Amino acid sequence: MAYKFIDNYREKGARKQLVKLLEKRGIQDQRVLAAIGKIPRHYFFDETFWNQAYRDIAFPIGDGQTISQPYTVAYQSELLHVRKGDKILEIGTGSGYQTCVLLELGAEVFTIERQENLYNRTKMVLPYMGYHPNFYYGDGSKGIASSAPYDKIIVTAGAPLVPEIMLKQLKFGGLLVIPVGDEKEQKMVTILRVGENDFERIELDTFRFVPLVGDQAW
Ligand code: SAM
Protein backbone atom coordinates (compact mmCIF):
# COMPACT_ATOMS: atom_id res chain seq x y z
CA MET A 1 0.00 0.00 0.00
CA ALA A 2 1.38 3.43 -1.00
CA TYR A 3 0.82 6.15 1.60
CA LYS A 4 0.57 9.84 0.74
CA PHE A 5 -0.02 12.54 3.37
CA ILE A 6 -1.77 15.44 1.62
CA ASP A 7 -4.84 17.04 3.17
CA ASN A 8 -6.51 19.31 0.58
CA TYR A 9 -9.72 21.37 0.61
CA ARG A 10 -11.52 18.41 -1.00
CA GLU A 11 -10.71 16.05 1.89
CA LYS A 12 -11.28 18.77 4.51
CA GLY A 13 -14.73 19.49 3.03
CA ALA A 14 -15.64 15.81 2.93
CA ARG A 15 -14.54 15.49 6.57
CA LYS A 16 -16.85 18.35 7.62
CA GLN A 17 -19.74 16.63 5.85
CA LEU A 18 -18.94 13.37 7.65
CA VAL A 19 -19.02 15.15 11.03
CA LYS A 20 -22.41 16.66 10.17
CA LEU A 21 -23.71 13.22 9.19
CA LEU A 22 -22.50 11.64 12.46
CA GLU A 23 -24.19 14.43 14.42
CA LYS A 24 -27.40 13.74 12.50
CA ARG A 25 -27.06 10.04 13.30
CA GLY A 26 -27.01 10.89 17.02
CA ILE A 27 -23.39 11.40 18.07
CA GLN A 28 -23.48 14.23 20.60
CA ASP A 29 -20.02 14.34 22.18
CA GLN A 30 -18.47 17.47 20.63
CA ARG A 31 -14.96 16.33 21.56
CA VAL A 32 -15.43 13.08 19.63
CA LEU A 33 -16.84 14.99 16.65
CA ALA A 34 -13.90 17.42 16.79
CA ALA A 35 -11.43 14.52 16.77
CA ILE A 36 -13.11 12.99 13.73
CA GLY A 37 -13.15 16.45 12.12
CA LYS A 38 -9.40 16.72 12.67
CA ILE A 39 -8.00 13.30 11.74
CA PRO A 40 -7.38 12.81 7.99
CA ARG A 41 -9.15 9.45 7.56
CA HIS A 42 -7.93 9.24 3.95
CA TYR A 43 -4.38 8.78 5.32
CA PHE A 44 -5.51 5.27 6.32
CA PHE A 45 -6.40 4.40 2.71
CA ASP A 46 -4.42 3.82 -0.44
CA GLU A 47 -4.73 6.95 -2.62
CA THR A 48 -6.81 4.99 -5.14
CA PHE A 49 -9.58 4.79 -2.52
CA TRP A 50 -9.47 8.32 -1.09
CA ASN A 51 -12.94 8.93 -2.51
CA GLN A 52 -14.24 6.27 -0.08
CA ALA A 53 -12.53 7.65 3.03
CA TYR A 54 -15.28 10.03 4.20
CA ARG A 55 -18.24 7.78 3.51
CA ASP A 56 -19.83 6.36 6.65
CA ILE A 57 -18.79 2.80 5.83
CA ALA A 58 -16.29 0.19 7.00
CA PHE A 59 -13.61 -0.48 4.35
CA PRO A 60 -11.16 -3.35 3.71
CA ILE A 61 -7.61 -2.67 4.92
CA GLY A 62 -6.09 -6.01 3.87
CA ASP A 63 -5.55 -9.30 5.69
CA GLY A 64 -9.34 -9.80 5.76
CA GLN A 65 -9.80 -6.87 8.17
CA THR A 66 -11.57 -3.51 7.97
CA ILE A 67 -11.19 0.08 9.12
CA SER A 68 -14.33 0.51 11.23
CA GLN A 69 -17.28 2.59 10.06
CA PRO A 70 -16.88 6.19 11.33
CA TYR A 71 -20.25 5.95 13.13
CA THR A 72 -19.05 2.87 15.02
CA VAL A 73 -15.78 4.59 16.00
CA ALA A 74 -17.71 7.66 17.17
CA TYR A 75 -20.25 5.51 19.04
CA GLN A 76 -17.64 3.51 20.95
CA SER A 77 -15.56 6.63 21.64
CA GLU A 78 -18.60 8.45 23.02
CA LEU A 79 -19.42 5.51 25.31
CA LEU A 80 -15.90 5.58 26.75
CA HIS A 81 -16.30 9.16 28.12
CA VAL A 82 -12.55 9.65 27.64
CA ARG A 83 -10.91 12.03 30.11
CA LYS A 84 -7.49 13.59 29.55
CA GLY A 85 -4.84 11.20 30.89
CA ASP A 86 -7.10 8.12 30.89
CA LYS A 87 -5.10 4.93 30.48
CA ILE A 88 -6.93 3.02 27.73
CA LEU A 89 -6.37 -0.48 26.36
CA GLU A 90 -7.57 -0.93 22.78
CA ILE A 91 -7.93 -4.50 21.53
CA GLY A 92 -7.77 -4.66 17.73
CA THR A 93 -5.50 -1.85 16.47
CA GLY A 94 -6.40 -2.48 12.82
CA SER A 95 -5.63 0.63 10.77
CA GLY A 96 -5.08 2.68 13.93
CA TYR A 97 -7.88 5.15 13.15
CA GLN A 98 -9.75 4.48 16.41
CA THR A 99 -6.39 4.69 18.21
CA CYS A 100 -5.88 8.22 16.83
CA VAL A 101 -9.35 9.28 18.00
CA LEU A 102 -8.51 8.11 21.55
CA LEU A 103 -5.16 9.95 21.43
CA GLU A 104 -6.89 13.13 20.21
CA LEU A 105 -9.20 12.84 23.24
CA GLY A 106 -6.12 12.99 25.48
CA ALA A 107 -5.81 9.30 26.43
CA GLU A 108 -2.65 7.31 26.96
CA VAL A 109 -3.29 4.37 24.63
CA PHE A 110 -2.08 0.76 24.79
CA THR A 111 -3.16 -0.99 21.60
CA ILE A 112 -2.79 -4.62 20.53
CA GLU A 113 -3.18 -6.33 17.14
CA ARG A 114 -2.89 -10.04 16.36
CA GLN A 115 -2.34 -9.76 12.58
CA GLU A 116 1.38 -9.28 12.07
CA ASN A 117 1.13 -7.37 8.76
CA LEU A 118 -1.38 -4.90 10.17
CA TYR A 119 0.61 -4.49 13.37
CA ASN A 120 3.80 -3.71 11.42
CA ARG A 121 2.07 -1.36 9.00
CA THR A 122 0.17 0.64 11.62
CA LYS A 123 3.18 0.83 13.93
CA MET A 124 5.13 2.37 11.07
CA VAL A 125 2.42 4.75 9.77
CA LEU A 126 0.91 6.33 12.92
CA PRO A 127 4.12 8.06 14.10
CA TYR A 128 4.39 9.71 10.64
CA MET A 129 1.01 11.28 11.37
CA GLY A 130 2.19 12.42 14.80
CA TYR A 131 0.37 9.74 16.84
CA HIS A 132 2.25 7.72 19.44
CA PRO A 133 0.35 4.95 21.22
CA ASN A 134 2.08 1.97 22.89
CA PHE A 135 1.94 -0.79 20.25
CA TYR A 136 1.68 -4.49 21.11
CA TYR A 137 1.59 -7.54 18.87
CA GLY A 138 -0.33 -10.62 20.01
CA ASP A 139 -3.61 -11.99 21.30
CA GLY A 140 -5.54 -9.18 22.98
CA SER A 141 -8.45 -11.41 24.03
CA LYS A 142 -6.47 -11.86 27.26
CA GLY A 143 -5.94 -8.10 27.61
CA ILE A 144 -2.41 -6.95 28.44
CA ALA A 145 -1.72 -7.84 32.06
CA SER A 146 1.73 -6.21 32.17
CA SER A 147 0.32 -2.66 31.77
CA ALA A 148 -2.92 -3.17 33.76
CA PRO A 149 -4.97 -1.74 35.41
CA TYR A 150 -6.74 0.49 32.88
CA ASP A 151 -9.32 3.26 33.20
CA LYS A 152 -11.03 2.01 30.07
CA ILE A 153 -10.83 -0.97 27.70
CA ILE A 154 -12.26 -0.88 24.17
CA VAL A 155 -12.62 -3.99 22.01
CA THR A 156 -12.98 -3.30 18.28
CA ALA A 157 -13.83 -6.87 17.21
CA GLY A 158 -16.90 -9.00 17.98
CA ALA A 159 -16.53 -11.34 20.98
CA PRO A 160 -18.62 -14.46 21.74
CA LEU A 161 -18.59 -13.51 25.44
CA VAL A 162 -16.96 -11.04 27.81
CA PRO A 163 -13.48 -12.37 28.71
CA GLU A 164 -13.30 -12.36 32.51
CA ILE A 165 -9.57 -11.80 32.42
CA MET A 166 -10.25 -8.40 30.80
CA LEU A 167 -12.61 -7.36 33.57
CA LYS A 168 -9.87 -8.00 36.13
CA GLN A 169 -7.62 -5.55 34.28
CA LEU A 170 -10.03 -2.63 34.87
CA LYS A 171 -9.47 -0.18 37.70
CA PHE A 172 -12.36 0.20 40.15
CA GLY A 173 -14.64 2.67 38.38
CA GLY A 174 -13.14 1.51 35.06
CA LEU A 175 -15.23 0.81 31.97
CA LEU A 176 -15.14 -1.89 29.28
CA VAL A 177 -16.83 -1.31 25.89
CA ILE A 178 -17.13 -4.54 23.89
CA PRO A 179 -19.37 -5.90 21.09
CA VAL A 180 -20.74 -9.31 22.14
CA GLY A 181 -22.75 -11.79 20.08
CA ASP A 182 -22.50 -14.38 17.32
CA GLU A 183 -20.63 -14.12 14.00
CA LYS A 184 -23.53 -12.27 12.33
CA GLU A 185 -24.28 -9.50 14.83
CA GLN A 186 -23.24 -8.23 18.22
CA LYS A 187 -24.74 -6.00 20.90
CA MET A 188 -22.55 -3.21 22.15
CA VAL A 189 -22.03 -3.91 25.85
CA THR A 190 -20.62 -1.60 28.50
CA ILE A 191 -19.38 -3.01 31.80
CA LEU A 192 -18.48 -0.76 34.73
CA ARG A 193 -16.31 -2.22 37.46
CA VAL A 194 -17.85 -1.04 40.72
CA GLY A 195 -15.92 -3.29 43.12
CA GLU A 196 -13.54 -6.25 43.36
CA ASN A 197 -16.17 -8.64 41.97
CA ASP A 198 -19.02 -6.22 41.19
CA PHE A 199 -19.81 -5.14 37.67
CA GLU A 200 -22.69 -3.23 36.08
CA ARG A 201 -23.55 -4.40 32.56
CA ILE A 202 -25.61 -2.49 29.98
CA GLU A 203 -26.57 -3.78 26.52
CA LEU A 204 -27.00 -1.22 23.76
CA ASP A 205 -27.37 -1.19 19.96
CA THR A 206 -26.58 -3.93 17.43
CA PHE A 207 -23.48 -3.84 15.22
CA ARG A 208 -21.54 -6.15 12.93
CA PHE A 209 -17.82 -6.51 13.66
CA VAL A 210 -15.10 -8.82 12.38
CA PRO A 211 -14.53 -11.60 14.96
CA LEU A 212 -12.28 -11.31 17.99
CA VAL A 213 -10.05 -14.34 17.53
CA GLY A 214 -7.96 -15.81 20.33
CA ASP A 215 -7.61 -17.69 23.56
CA GLN A 216 -10.59 -15.96 25.24
CA ALA A 217 -12.56 -15.45 22.01
CA TRP A 218 -13.55 -17.29 18.81
N1 SAM B 1 -10.73 0.12 15.01
C2 SAM B 1 -9.97 -0.38 13.90
C3 SAM B 1 -9.82 0.63 12.82
O4 SAM B 1 -10.51 1.66 12.87
O5 SAM B 1 -9.05 0.36 11.90
C6 SAM B 1 -10.65 -1.53 13.27
C7 SAM B 1 -10.43 -2.76 13.88
S8 SAM B 1 -10.99 -4.15 12.97
C9 SAM B 1 -12.71 -3.93 12.90
C10 SAM B 1 -10.73 -5.36 14.25
C11 SAM B 1 -9.29 -5.71 14.47
O12 SAM B 1 -9.20 -6.60 15.58
C13 SAM B 1 -8.66 -6.44 13.30
O14 SAM B 1 -7.53 -5.74 12.87
C15 SAM B 1 -8.30 -7.81 13.87
O16 SAM B 1 -7.12 -8.37 13.33
C17 SAM B 1 -8.14 -7.47 15.33
N18 SAM B 1 -8.25 -8.61 16.25
C19 SAM B 1 -9.11 -9.66 16.22
N20 SAM B 1 -8.89 -10.50 17.26
C21 SAM B 1 -7.86 -9.95 17.97
C22 SAM B 1 -7.17 -10.34 19.14
N23 SAM B 1 -7.46 -11.45 19.82
N24 SAM B 1 -6.16 -9.55 19.58
C25 SAM B 1 -5.82 -8.41 18.91
N26 SAM B 1 -6.44 -7.98 17.79
C27 SAM B 1 -7.45 -8.75 17.33
Query: 126-160 pLDDT, tens per residue?
Result: 999 999 999 999 999 999 999 999 999 999 999 99
Chain mean pLDDT for the chain: 96
User: Quick check: 62 and 111 in contact, CB under 8 A?
Assistant: no
Ligand 1 centroid vs 115 CA: distance in angstroms? 8
Find the 170 Cα to ligand 1 centroid distance in Å. 20
Quick one: residue 129, left, alpha or beta (phi over 0 = left, psi -120 to 50 = alpha)? Answer: alpha
Out of 3.40.50.150, 3.40.47.10, 1.10.3720.10, 3.40.50.720, select the CATH number for domain 9-207: 3.40.50.150
3-state secondary structure of 171: strand
How far does residue 134's CA lie from ligand 1's centre (Å)?
15
The helix-helix angle for 70-80 and 30-38 (nearest 10°) equals 140
Q: Ligand 1: does its nearest atom lie under 6 Å from the Cβ of 90?
A: no
Interface confidence, given as ipTM, is 0.99
Ligand 1 contact via 53 beta carbon (within 6 Å): no
CA-closest residue to ligand 1 atom 3: 67
Question: Is 68 assigned a catalytic role?
Answer: yes
What percent of the chain has a predicted confidence (pLDDT) above 70?
99
Task: Please give the share of the chain, as a percent, with pLDDT higher than 90.
Answer: 94
Q: Is 72's C-beta closer than 6 angstroms to any atom of ligand 1? A: no
Contact 59, 49 (CB under 8 A): yes
Residue 212: per-residue pLDDT: 97
Q: Is 101 in the pocket of ligand 1 (CB under 6 A)?
A: no
Closest CA to 131 of 105, 152, 92: 105
Bridge partners of 108, per DSSP, are 87
pLDDT in tens, 56-114: 999 998 888 899 999 999 999 999 999 999 999 999 999 999 999 999 999 999 999 99
Domain residue ranges of the chain, discontinuous segments joined by + = 9-207
Backbone angles phi, psi at 153, to 5 degrees: -130, 130
